[in-house]
Chains A and B, each alone.
Chain A
Amino acid sequence: MKKFTIITMILVVVFSAFIQFYEPGFDESEAYNYSYAPRTLYWGTSGKDVRTVQDKLLRWRYYDGSVDGVYGARTYRAVRRFQEKNGLNVDGVVGPATARALGMPEAFASPASAQGTNRSADEYLLARCIHGEARGEPYVGKVAVGAVILNRVRSPQFPNTVAGVIYQPLAFTAVADGQINLTPNKDSINAARDAMNGWDPTYGTLYYWNPATATSKWIWSRKVTLKIGKHWFGI
């Protein structure tokens, strides 16, 4: 009995100390190196750099597919295994930290005046927002959500950058509750890409809402144009 109480007390002290001094895992080196990111590789990307990743993973026996330069399911699983073994954030995305662990070259050789000009960062951000907002929707509904965001970028009533629109306060529930930080799946990435390439199933619509959960009275004053899945799209 005595032993039991002592153990309990020690546990309590350890627990409270843990709660007070614990700070969620935050690796500084990772946070500060984002700006040097050459290119983030994820499910759906392809190219020479994907081939390099596959080649390295194949030699280290994480990967058993062919080295074809296409980031597919097998590459995704191999990257996850690699990240798990190496204590990295297991998300199946080759970001700066994973690239460094793989020993990938740090940057691409492109002319100085064109360096860093890229669309994929916006594409990935859009994919994350689509994933957070419309995970369970049909594919056309996902593209429509992406298209609404891009329509807002082009509208005078909203900020004119993709990030400005997505992170506008009170605009998207998935941003407010952090679901935007989930890793997007292949469907969401494809939908973001289709939207960026100009497919707009809503033809210029600026709003969408879920009639079952929408709380704003104002949103109900919008005119509905199209209903896809759970979402109503309107102007």
Chain B
Amino acid sequence: MKNRKTWIAPSVLSLLLIASLIWGYNQYRIREQYEVALDNHYQRLFYDVRDHVQKVQVSLSKALLASTRERNVLLFTQIMNDADQARDKLAQMPISHADTVTTEKFLTQAADYSYFIIQKHMEGQEITPEQREAIKSIQLNTTAFNEELNSLSNSMIDDNFLVGMANAGRRNRDNDGGSTNALVTSLANMDKEVAKAPELIYDGPFADQMINRKPVGLSGNNVNLEQAKKAAVDFIGSDRIRNIQAFEQGEGVDEMRIPSYTFQVEDKNTRGVLTYVSVSKQGGKVLNITNTRPASERNLTVEEGQQKALDFLKSKGFNNMEPNYNLRYDGTVLYNFVYTQNNVTVYPDLVKVKVALDNGEIVGFDASAYYLNHKARSLNEVTLDQEEARNMIKTNFDIDSTRLTLIPKGENEVQCYEFKGKYNDADYIVYINAETGQEEQILQIIQNENGTLTF
């Protein structure tokens, strides 16, 4: 009996040891497989970025030579596509955002700028000397980037820095991207080079001017915290407030799109219900109100709610607001109202109001788009009449309604005829420029259970 006992314990232990060794080796192998797969993926991304940047560079130099608009349109379509692809793939690599932020921006704007040039060409315009300079500067940057990527890929023959990249992500996170990886260093240098290039001035969704746009609908002096608090209290009604406090601001507050104060309000009647209010610094206007009270019952119809919202807007001094589409959620409906001037629907001046259908209370209000865009406009008499505009659209587009609208076009606004209708059983809105007859915009309307969305 004693004899037996002596061999049992060691054999159990050694079995355990063998089992855990096998297990460990297996884990190691699996991990290695994953790492190789990930490394391969990153290598693919790197080579793709290099190829796309190279194509951008070649197409740009061709575009500088090309003398016809037709050729240029084709070239810039390629540039747009390749620059977009390069940006997309660069963003998927495990590199800290801080090291590639300017390069990413450069590639996005290169694509965006190409789209801008294509649009100009389509409208029959030639490239201006300034635009030619801008294209040259994009080309210079692309060339530098291309050289950088090429020398990187040459050095990969000796020392493949992309192997082990799967781990680099973890390292980067720990020590703030301070990795000695050749790729990261090189991209960080590139990023600094690109930052020196002049800002691109053009009209497109990713242009600096569009992003740094300041509100035009706010006027007056800056208000201080106390004045802003008073504006918030007046807007909600002091009888409904138990307690109001402001969120702390940072020193960069003036660089927000709309510099503002944000408050948290405790409801007097219902405990635990919070309302958030933001008030603009300039002029002290209430930009947004959100009441977090949940509502699930529906005692009002959507139309009755809309009337409540309209009355609310009137009481707050928003006149000439026209109901647009709405979205229904649980027991609330979000209504969109658009400003009208001389029967022209001014789409940029948008105000949203959310109404709870249980008791008709206004639980949400957002006028930030309105204050961003609203200004005194002089709307010219349009040159095209409705019939002429209608002739610009496919004859089998089945039109339900037509009206004159003002829609945003880049930094500007254009007057358009809006045609709502059906084509191939789906709903669309087509905008025809009321001056030139151009097709400015086509929106597809998607109806779902909650309401209407446009794409």
Query: Which residues on A are within 8 Å of B, measured CB to CB?
Result: 1-2, 5, 8-9, 12-13, 15-16, 19-20, 44, 46-49, 70, 72, 110-114, 117-119, 138-140, 143, 154-160, 164, 168-171, 176, 193-194, 197-205, 215-219, 222-228, 232-235
Contacts and interface: CB of A to CB of B under 8 A. Distances in A.
Nearest to B15: A12
A154 B249 contact: no
A212 B329 CA distance: 36
A159 B26 contact: no
Nearest to A215: B176
B274 A197 contact: no
Given A48-B449, A225-B255, 4 more contacts: A16-B20, A111-B425, A140-B276, A140-B290
Contacts, number: 198
B249 A225 contact: yes
Nearest to B18: A16
A197 B91 contact: no
B54 interface: no
A197 B23 contact: no
A13 B15 contact: yes
A224 B255 CA distance: 9
A227 B327 CA distance: 31
Contacts of B108: 156-157, 160
B368 A224 contact: no
26 contacts: A12-B19, A13-B15, A16-B23, A19-B19, A20-B22, A46-B330, A48-B449, A112-B425, A113-B424, A118-B446, A118-B448, A157-B97, A157-B102, A157-B108, A158-B97, A194-B364, A198-B366, A203-B368, A215-B173, A216-B177, A218-B98, A222-B252, A223-B252, A225-B252, A225-B253, A226-B253
B262 A201 contact: yes
Contact of B94 (A138, A159, A169): A169
Contacts of B368: 198, 200, 203
Interface stretch (B4-12, B123-131, B375-383): B4-12
Nearest to B215: A203
B251 interface: yes
B215 to A, nearest CB: 9
Nearest to B11: A9
B448 A198 contact: no
A199 B255 contact: no
Interface size class of B (residues with CB under 8 A): 35 or more
Pick the 10 closest A-B CB pairs, nearest first: A224-B250, A223-B252, A47-B449, A16-B19, A204-B257, A156-B108, A218-B98, A111-B425, A156-B206, A203-B256
A222 B101 CA distance: 13
B399 interface: no
B444 interface: yes
B99 to A, nearest CB: 9
Given A5-B8, A198-B366, A203 B290 contact: no
B449 to A, nearest CB: 3
Interface string B347-369: 00000100000000000101011
B17 to A, nearest CB: 10
Contacts of B444: 113-114, 117
A114 B452 CA distance: 13
B283 interface: no
Contact of A170 (B173, B276, B450): B173
B149 to A, nearest CB: 19
Nearest to B280: A203
A112 B328 CA distance: 25
Contact of A140 (B8, B253, B262): B262
A154 B205 contact: yes
Given A199-B290, A227-B247, A235-B255, A46 B424 contact: no
Contacts of B290: 139-140, 143, 194, 199
A140 B296 contact: no
Nearest to A21: B26
A156 B104 contact: yes
